[in-house]
Structure 1
Amino acid sequence: MHAVRLHAFGPAENLSYESVPRPVPAPGQVRIAVAAAGVHLLDTALRRGVQGPPAPLPELPTVPGREVAGTVDAVGPDTDTGWLGQTVVTHLGFAPGGYAEYAVADAARLHPVPDGLDPATAVAMIGTGRTTLGILQFAELGPGSVALIPAAAGGIGTLLVQYAKHAGATVVALAGGPAKTARATANGADLALDYTAPDWADTLRAHHPDGATVLFDSVGGSVARTALGLLRDGARHLVFGWSGGPLDLTDAEQAGLDARGITTQFVLGPAMLQRAGGEDPLRLLETRALAEAATGRLRPALQRYPLAEAAAAHHDLETRATTGKVVLEP
C-alpha cells in the first residue's frame, strides 16, 4: 500500500509518499481501507517536532494522521466480525497512522458512518466536529447573543457560524481576505469582516455599538487583543487556540477586563471533558457531532487533497491558504 511517512522532524517537504506493508490488526482492532484522512493543525506541529499538548512526539519514522474513515476490510483476533464491510469513522487518539491507504484502529472507538454522510464529512466531524461541540458547551447562545468568531472560514469557525445561527444568535465573522469573508457570508454570518483591513474594528463598532457577548478565540495575538475591546460588559472570552501568537495582556489590561466582568476561559482538555461528562466524554461528543451532520444542522467545509499531496496540504494549512477542514483522500 501507499502511505505518507515522516523520517525526520522539520518542514512539510519532509513528508514522503512511499510504498509500505499493509498493517495487520491486533486483538481488538480492525483494519480500515481509508477513504478519507483528516489533517489537523496539531499534525503540523508534531511534524516540526513541537511537543503537544496534548499529543506526545511520535517515534520516527511515523505515518501521521489521527482521523480516518473508510470500510473495514479485516479484523484482528477476538474482534467482532460484524464490523467487516461496514463504513466507519474513528479518531485514532495518540496512535497515528491515518495518512495511508490502510490503517488499524481499536474496534471500541469505531462509529458507523451515518446514512447520507460521505467519508470526508464524517472525518471532519469526528475530530473538528467533536471539538466544536465541546467548545459550544461553554457558550449560552440564543436570540440576543452576538457571537464574534475569528478564523470563521476555518474548520471549527465554519461550524461555529452555523451553530450560532441555528441558535438565533447574531454572528460577526472575522476572516483573512475577501475570499474567506465571502465564504463566511455564504455560510450565514450576519457580518463578515476582513481582519487584515485596518478599519475592521471601527466597522464592527458601527454595526454593534453595544459589543459582542461572546468571543470564540482560536487565534490570539493582535486580532484577539482588538476583539477583546469589542466585547460588552459581562461577555465571555472562550479560548481554544493561538494560531496568531500568544495573547500577552498587561496587568492593567487584564484588570480592565476584570472590572467589566469579561471572563476568559480555556475550553479544551480537562475542562471540555468535565463539562461533557459521562464515562467516555470524547465518544459522547463524537456521537453528537456525527448526529448534527446527519441531520444537516452542521455542514463542514472541506478542502480535499490527494493522499500523495500531504506535504502541500500541510504547507497550505500552516500558511492559512486553506478553508474549512483539510482532508486527504487516497
Structure 2
Amino acid sequence: MNAVRLHAFGPAENLTHERTARPDPAPGQVRIAVAAAGVHLLDTSLRRGVEGPPAPLPDLPTIPGREVAGTVEALGPGTDPAWLGRRVVVHLGFAPGGYAEYAVADAARLHPVPDGLDAAEAVAMIGTGRTTLGILGFADLGPDSVALVPAAAGGIGTLLVQYAKNAGARVVALAGGPAKAALAAANGADLALDYTDPGWAAAVRAHHPGGATVLFDSVGGDTARTALGLLAPGGLHLVFGWSGGPLVLTDAERAGLAARNITTQNVLGPAMLRRADGEDPLRLLESRALAEAAAGRLRPAVSRYPLARAAAAHRDLENRATTGKVVLEP
C-alpha cells in the first residue's frame, strides 16, 4: 500500500510517501480502506520530535495520523461481521497509522459515518468536533453571551462560531488576514476582524463596550493578552492551545485579572474528561459531534490534500496557511 512514513524526527520534508506492507487486523480489530485521514497540530510536534502531553513520541519509523474514515474491508478474528463493508470513522488514540491507504482500528472504537457526511467531514468531527464540544462544556452560552473567538477560521474556531450563534450568543471572530476574517464572517460571526490589524481591539470595544463574557483561547501570546483586556468583569478565559506562543503574564497583569474576577481555566486533558458525563467521555463527545454534524447544526470546514502531499499539509498547517480541518485523501 501507499503510506506516508517518518524515519527521522525533523522538518516536514522528512515525511516520505512510499510503499509499505498493508497492516493485518488483530483479534477485535478491523482494517479500513482509508478515504480521509486527519492532520492535527499535534502531529507536527511529534514529527519534530517534541514530546509532551497528551501523546508520547512514536517509535520510528512510523506512519503518523490518528483519525481516519473509510470502509471496513477486512475483519480480525472474533470481530463482529456486521462491520464488514460499512462506512466508519475512528479516532485511533495514541496508536498512529492514519496517513495510509489502509489502517487498522479496534472495532469497539468505530462509529458509523452518518448519512450526508463525507469521509473528510466525518474525520473533522471525530477529532476536532469532539474537542470543540468538550471545550463548550465549560461555557454556558446564551443570548446574554458575547463570545470572543481567536483563530476563528481554524477547525475548532469554525465550529465554535457556529455553536455560539446557534445558542443565541453574539460572536466576535478574530482571524489572521482579511481572507480568513471574511471566512469567519461568512460562517456567521457578528463581527469578524483581522487580528494582524493593530486596530482590532478598538473595534471590539466600539461594538461591545460592555466587554466579552467568554474568550476561547487557542492562540496565547500577545493576541490572548490583548483579548483578556476585552473581557467584562466576571468573564471566562478558556485555554486550549497556544499556537501564537505561551501567554506569560506579569504579577501586575495577574492582579488586574483577579480584581476583575476573570476566571482562567485550561480545559484540555483531565479537566475535559471530568466535565464530560459517562463511562467513556471521549466516545460520548465523538458521538455527540457526529450527531451535531448529521443534524446540520455544525458544519466542519475542511482543507483537503492528497496523501502524497502530507509534507505540504504539515508546512501549511505550521505556517497558519490553512483553514478548517486539514485532511489527507489517498
Query: Which range, TM-score by smaller chain?
Result: over 0.9
Structure-2 residue corresponding to 1:193: 193
> How far 1:177 sits from its partner (Å)?
0.3
Task: Give the C-alpha shift of residue 259 in structure 1.
Answer: 1.0
Distance in 1 between residues matched to 2:214 and 2:300, nearest whole Å = 22
Partner residue in 2 for 1:56: 56
The answer to whether the 8 A contact 1:42-1:52 is kept is no
Tell me how far apart the structure 1 counterparts of residues 97 and 160 of structure 2 sit (CA, whole Å).
29
Equivalent position of 1:279 in the other structure = 279
Q: TM-score, normalised by structure 1?
A: 1.00
Which residue matches 1:118? 118
Q: Aligned residue for 2:11?
A: 11
Q: Provide the residue aligned with 2:307 in structure 1.
A: 307
Within-5 A mapping of 1:225-264: 225-264=225-264
Q: Is this contact kept in 2: 1:149–1:171, CA < 8 A? A: yes
Q: Which residue of 1 aligns with 2:29?
A: 29
Q: Number of matched residues? A: 330
1:82 aligns with 2:101: no
How far 1:78 moved relative to its partner? 1.1
* Alpha-carbon shift at residue 277 of structure 1 (Å): 2.1
Structure 1 counterpart of 2:91 = 91
Aligned AA (2:100) = A
Match for residue 106 of structure 1?
A: 106
Q: Which residue identity is paired with 2:145?
A: S
Deviation at 1:52, TM superposition (A): 2.4
Q: List runs of 5+ in structure 2 lacking aligned partners.
A: none
The residue matched to 2:284 in structure 1 has which SS?
Answer: helix
Number of the residue aligned with 1:166: 166
TM-score (normalised: structure 2): 1.00
Displacement of 1:251: 1.2
Whole-Å separation in 1 of the counterparts to 2:209 and 2:279: 44
Secondary structure of the 2:16 match is: strand
1:143-222 mapped onto 2 (5 Å cutoff): 143-222=143-222
User: Cα distance, 1:252 vs. partner?
Assistant: 1.2
Q: How far apart in 2 are the matches of 1:100 and 1:53? A: 25
Cα distance in 2, alignment partners of residues 161 and 64 from structure 1: 29
1:64-119 Cα distance to aligned partner (Å, 9 max, x none): 00000000000101111111000000000000000000000000000000111111
- In structure 2, how many angstroms separate the alpha carbons of the residues matched to 1:47 and 1:226? 31
Deviation at 1:144, TM superposition (A): 1.3
RMSD: 0.4
The sequence identity of aligned pairs, in percent, is 83
Output the amino acid matched with 2:261: G
- CA distance in 2 between counterparts of 1:88 and 1:136 reads 25
Distance, in Å, in 2 between the alignment partners of 1:274 and 1:198 is 39
Poorly superposed stretches of 4+, deviation over 3 Å: none
* SS at 2:32 equivalent: strand
2:266 counterpart residue number: 266
